[in-house]
Structure 1
């Protein structure tokens, strides 16, 4: 099996993730500002846990080669993506202190703890499969929005987000991750109990991605109710 088998096994959930209303509103530039700010702050918290998951991959590794494999991803997360995220958030008036002080939303807690718990309870493959929907999905969304003629470029305050995830750097990193995952699961029959377990892990993590988008939209609804 390969990563495409994992996607096909949760086809509708994958569509709900990659074609979510949050994504559509990003592309049109119509996303509510508060929804985006909520997303940015929660994504900062998510990235910290995502880095912990890559560190866990080193701990779970059995060989030196396996220990080396997560290092580029971990380094990129801490030194590049997180730093870029903080620089980008500063343009939206958010400081590192603001984001560190932000309370984790329920979707952020559920998603990050699921990934970490899956890695702790399972093996290295389980962990990588739980991590996979994030990078694979964002790469697909970035390319999808870049090519979509309905995507608004001029005057879209969120177009830089689309540029980031459609960039060669991000696309190449995601491709490397997909290739590594494909090698890890290549000998696992899709219809075996092990294969079905990996599909379930991937689907659950994808459901968490859907919830992560939705919590940004829900934050605006909650704010309107309390106003």
Structure 2
């Protein structure tokens, strides 16, 4: 998967170091069966249904994390930026879900009744706890992997030859879209600005949560592939 980030990495920046830190993890993400099969249109429908239901749960909580980050932002421009992201998480991406929910025979009752998988539950609670209890810079680093990794994956898949009749093309188009990439790059830039003003201890915390959230990104996709449920 081609996920070149030359335009977003700045030598010596916090985000360049963070991306370098997760390179081995990104290699594992790029090899995930769910993403490979989504790319070529062969993903089993039951796996995609599981993924979309879990993603709907995730986005509901992620939107709240973005709103908390907005409340901690140091200026009005950044407040508005993350409030706008929270709104998009609820509206734009849920519109994509609505298309897929109908296409894959998932009712609104199914969505209401869905429970988070262990991986979804752990990831969303990690994000919410970090957003509520940490500084703006640290909270920003926790939400960044969702933006950045989805951009990386989306651009990589979008760069491959399109598969005619791929029922997952709308998903590919959403995360491979230049507007989504522009939004992700803005969050990368804001994270670097916050890191420059942070203390050494705070920067260490920023790196820790960035890595942990990236690990959860892998876990989320892998858990959907395995149709993960609670073991007891």
Shorter-chain TM-score category? 0.7 to 0.9
Aligned residues: 217
Whether contact under 8 Å (2:45, 2:104) holds in the other structure is no
Alignment partner of 1:215 is 2:227? no
Residues 172 and 61 of structure 1, relative CA distance in 2, 3 Å threshold: closer
Residues 62 and 173 of structure 1, relative CA distance in 2, 3 Å threshold: closer
Alignment partner of 1:118 is 2:130? yes
- CA offset digits 1:24-54 (Å, max 9, x no partner): 1111222221111100000000000001101
The aligned counterpart of 1:161 is: 171
Gaps of 5+ in 1: 223-227
TM-score (norm 1): 0.86
The aligned counterpart of 2:194 is: 184
Alpha-carbon shift at residue 140 of structure 1 (Å):
0.8
Whether contact under 8 Å (1:44, 1:85) holds in the other structure is yes
Residues 204 and 65 of structure 1, relative CA distance in 2, 3 Å threshold: same
The aligned counterpart of 2:72 is: 60
Alignment partner of 1:40 is 2:52? yes
Alignment partner of 1:199 is 2:211? no
Using CA pairs below 8 Å that are at least 6 residues apart, which structure has the higher relative contact order?
1
The aligned counterpart of 2:86 is: 74
Alpha-carbon shift at residue 57 of structure 1 (Å):
1.6
CA distance in 2, matches of 1:45, 1:103: 8
Alignment partner of 1:22 is 2:34? yes
Whether contact under 8 Å (1:116, 1:127) holds in the other structure is no
**What is the root-mean-square deviation of aligned Cα atoms in Å?**
2.1
Alpha-carbon shift at residue 206 of structure 1 (Å):
0.7
